[in-house]
Amino acid sequence: MSNIPKIVILGAGYGGVLTALRLQKELNYNEADVTLVNKHDYHYITTHLHMPAAGTDNPENARVSISKLIDEFKIDFVKSTVVQIRPQDKKVILEDGTLSYDYLVIGVGGEPETFGIPGMLEHAMNIRSINSVRLIREHIEYQFARFKREPHRTDYLTFVVGGAGFTGIEFVGELSDRIPELCKQFDVDPSIVRLYNIEAAPTALPGFDPELVEYAMNVLSKKGVTFKIGTAIKECTADGVIVGEGEEIRSQTVIWTGGIRGNRLIEEAGFETMRGRVKVDEHLRAPGHENIYIVGDNSLIINPEGRPYPPTAQIAMQQGVLCAHNLVASIRNQPLKGFEFKNKGTVASLGKGEAIGIAFGKKYKGRFAAWLKKAIDLRYLFIIGGIPLVFRKGKFL
């Protein structure tokens, strides 16, 4: 039995990976035992998933093997699924074992928030993981093949994207690029295909700069996207969606990007939550648990305007860095630091060669914004994997 503290990190998303990478760098030899637990043996680049979902890129380019990221001499890796978190016992129950911890980092990621829309959980697909985007891609291609055998079924070629936030907008941008390719591949008249983007809020990309939102909607409308903004989806069925005042859009493909809530594991563990997320203290710890940090989609942080920060890769990465710092400080009995989000800007892709964004206090659109998006993706690869990863995956971005 070693006496050194045991740190367990649950989840190898943006928050978990950054925590692990920084611990690996900052901890001295034998200062702590670090174990990273993840469902898959790879990390996926969530901000890139809209491309393999639409089929404009290979899913391989949206994931990185964990063994390529962490140094397994310094950090243990366990490929397993978390079944239960037991703060009272300082234990985590895995699908195939149990882990004890002194410090826990919860970075297990969120779940789709369907706001209770009937049928959404059962009938819609989500852009959430490598496996989920493979399903979306294959599902879409399959609908083209089915249509060729049953040409009266135009619902096979009607695609509904629920939610016009960043994921929804980036996905319809890619899908509107892919549809003409699929039409060519399957000899389909492009005028038969319908692509809807439906958003209940009064605007697409709520909270984003209105001028850029207008630009984005113009670009996407020209590419064939039909927007229904300020229109709620009332129900999702096996045959499509019911929107607004009862209008039915018949579709075999509904992709829900409308929201993220906390993971059910968090509530089940007994933490106090809001929409499944825990309002962490300034050091990113769960209230009442000095040894439990929560990063990413499951942590709730209120911004200076009094609203929660949206769950993004950017904030999760910054949380991971601070979380690692505070863990090391705790072990060394040094003072902890408080979290302060530094907004480095946001860029949303609208498909090939088109994007909108705000960075360095300026607005960008078109080709330069698209280049900026690539630069941000490359920067991320550099942060997590250094130059080799940039060369291996970067050429595909």
The answer to whether residue 267 is catalytic is: no
Give min distance, CB of 149 to a copy of itself, in A: 5
DSSP 8-state code for residue 285: B
Closest CA relative to residue 170, chosen from 223, 113, 235, 119 = 223
Of how many residues is the chain composed? 397
The yes or no reply on residue 91 touching a copy of itself (CB under 8 A) is no
Q: Pattern of binders to a copy of itself over 130-149, x per CB under 8 A?
A: -xx-xx-xxx-xx-xxx-xx
Closest CA relative to residue 264, chosen from 308, 298, 312, 309 = 298
Using CB under 8 A, which residues numbered 321 to 350 contact a copy of itself? Answer: none
Classify burial at 135, counting beta carbons within 10 Å of its beta carbon; exposed 0-12, middle 13-18, buried 19 or more: middle
* Residues 65, 375: Cα–Cα separation, whole Å: 22
- The active-site residue out of 111, 170, 174, 354 is 170
Give min distance, CB of 116 to a copy of itself, in A: 23
For residues 123 and 137, which CB has a smaller minimum distance to a copy of itself in the complex? 137
* Residues 259, 318: Cα–Cα separation, whole Å: 21
Q: Pattern of binders to a copy of itself over 180-209, x per CB under 8 A?
A: ------x-----------------------
CB contact at 8 A, 121 and 135: no
The yes or no reply on residue 396 touching a copy of itself (CB under 8 A) is no
Candidate ranges 15-23, 114-122, 126-134, 344-352; the one touching a copy of itself (CB under 8 A): 126-134
* Cα diameter, the chain: 70
For residues 115 and 142, which CB has a smaller minimum distance to a copy of itself in the complex? 142
Neighbour count for residue 87 (Cβ, 10 Å): 18
The yes or no reply on residue 33 touching a copy of itself (CB under 8 A) is no
How many residues belong to the site for a copy of itself (CB under 8 A)? Answer: 15
Q: Strand pairing partners for 228?
A: 198
Instruction: Provide the binding-site residues for a copy of itself, judged by CB under 8 A.
Output: 131-132, 134-135, 137-139, 141-142, 144-146, 148-149, 186
Residues that are catalytic: 170
